[in-house]
Homo-oligomer: A and B are copies of this chain.
Amino acid sequence: MSLEILPVVGIGDVVPGDDLAALIAGAAPWLRDGDVLVVTSKIVSKAEGRLVEVPADGPEREAARAEALAAESARVVARRGPTTIVQTHHGFVMAAAGIDASNVDKTHLVLLPADPDASARRLRAAFAARRLDVAVIVSDTMGRAWRNGLTDVALGSAGIAPLRDHRGEVDPYGNELHITQMAVADELAAAGELVKGKRDQVPVAVVRGQPWGSPEAADAGAAVLIRDEASDMFSLGTAEARAAGLRAAATLPAAGTAGAALDPAVAGRAVELVRPHLADGTVVEVTDAGVRCVPPPGGGARALIRFGADVHRLRAALLAEGVATAVVDTDGDAVLLTATAV
């Protein structure tokens, strides 16, 4: 199997209400059944009127931009300097919610299509009405963690399976393949970007020769490429997650039902972490019942206050190990930290 990646030139400026299928078919009379169209989301948004009017400059422009960002965002993922990475209502994690001020006049911002899979399906149907059986990918440029430079990915798709599944396949040596699923739609979007410009002269690329996968898998749409927050190991920026940890320490439940056993190895790690930071005279030991903390004998109010902080340090260290604690008063002024019954 070999592929051709062909640019579609001459589409020109797209305005709300434009018939994209007509524009693309007019610019690419050479389209064939089986082709995959990679369409830049920008022209889909423009045709669909996903534009926000904004002042051309000044603080009003910034305010309007911030308002659009808030409206498009489901949650903030990370912030650093002028960069805000959010998860959009669609589920995409993108800088500035994918809102773009380039390739549009200065009095408008372009939002992402409201439902890129639906946009892709509509476009595919419009080509079908012209008796052309093409698959459609709606693409956009995205940043990523760990690597410099941006790549294009698929926001929406129709007619083609976004994932290629290798689960259960066996290599020539009899090993089951570790790689489970390849994000074919993202790779096609990336391939398309190579022949497209960044200045809207070439908003569409055609990939010729790519199999579409099973019709059932094709029905899923590019939404299957969105990893849900719960199964994402990088759902928050590092600084934001670290701050969340500090806030968890600040808001540890005061009460808690004691009872669960505390793994001595885990307790030992927490104690070793905190030990260099304990107040003079505080005694901490790991016992079968939990972590026993004893204040300095005959200490005054100041010593007891510092001891209280020591106890809280230990609770934070234990939570860092995944152990929620209850504080149990024992003999004298001593305190016992036990795991809470979850």
CB distance from A205 to the nearest CB of B (A): 9
**A183: which B residues are within 8 A, CB to CB?**
147-151
Question: Which of A172, A295, A309, A333 has the largest count of B CB atoms less than 10 A from its CB?
Answer: A309
Among the 9-residue stretches A18-26, A43-51, A163-171, A258-266, the one with 4 or more Cβ atoms under 8 Å from chain B is A163-171
Q: On chain A, which size bracket covers the interface?
A: 35 or more
Contact B191 A5 (CB under 8 A): yes
**Which residues of B are found within 8 Å of A319, using beta-carbon distances?**
246
Is A195 located at the chain interface by the 8 A CB criterion? yes
- Interface check A128, CB cutoff 8 A: no
Which of A64-72, A129-137, A173-181 contacts its partner? A173-181
CA distance A85 to B234 in the complex (A): 11
Residues of B within 8 A of A1 (CB): 7, 195
Query: For A314, what are the chain B residues with a Cβ–Cβ distance below 8 Å?
Result: 250
**A247 B320 Cβ-Cβ under 8 A:** yes
A305-B335, A307-B305, A312-B308 known; A102 and B171 CB under 8 Å?
Answer: yes
Q: Report the bound CA distance from A210 to B145 in whole Å.
A: 26
Task: Write the A227-253 contact mask toward B (1 if CB under 8 angstroms, else 0).
Answer: 100001111111111111111111111
Contact A305 B301 (CB under 8 A): no
Question: Is A342 an interface residue when CB atoms closer than 8 A count as contact?
Answer: no
What is the oligomeric copy number?
Answer: 2
Segment at the B interface, from A113-121, A269-277, A283-291: A269-277
Given contacts A146-B227, A246-B317, contact A182 B193 (CB under 8 A): yes
Tell me which residues from 287 to 342 in chain A have a Cβ below 8 Å from any Cβ of chain B: 295, 301-302, 304-314, 316-317, 319-321, 329, 333, 335
* A306 surroundings in chain B (CB, below 8 A): 254, 308
CB-defined contacts of A152 to chain B, threshold 8 Å:
187
B4, B144, B198, B244: the one within 8 Å of A3 (CB): B4
- A184–B152 Cα distance when bound, in Å, is 10
Is A216 part of the contact surface with B, judged by Cβ < 8 Å?
no
Separation of A240 and B244 alpha carbons in the complex (Å): 11
Contact of A241 among B150, B184, B242, B276 (CB under 8 A): B242
A252 contacts B277, C-beta separation under 8 Å: yes
Q: Would B246 and A146 count as touching, CB distance under 8 A?
A: no
Seed contacts A235-B238, A302-B333, A305-B335; 13 additional CB < 8 Å A-B pairs:
A101-B175, A106-B175, A145-B232, A147-B226, A151-B182, A151-B186, A177-B198, A187-B190, A246-B320, A249-B250, A250-B277, A251-B313, A316-B316
Q: Rank and list the top 8 A-B pairs by shortest CB-CB distance, nearest first.
A: A308-B308, A245-B245, A149-B183, A249-B249, A241-B241, A145-B234, A246-B320, A191-B191
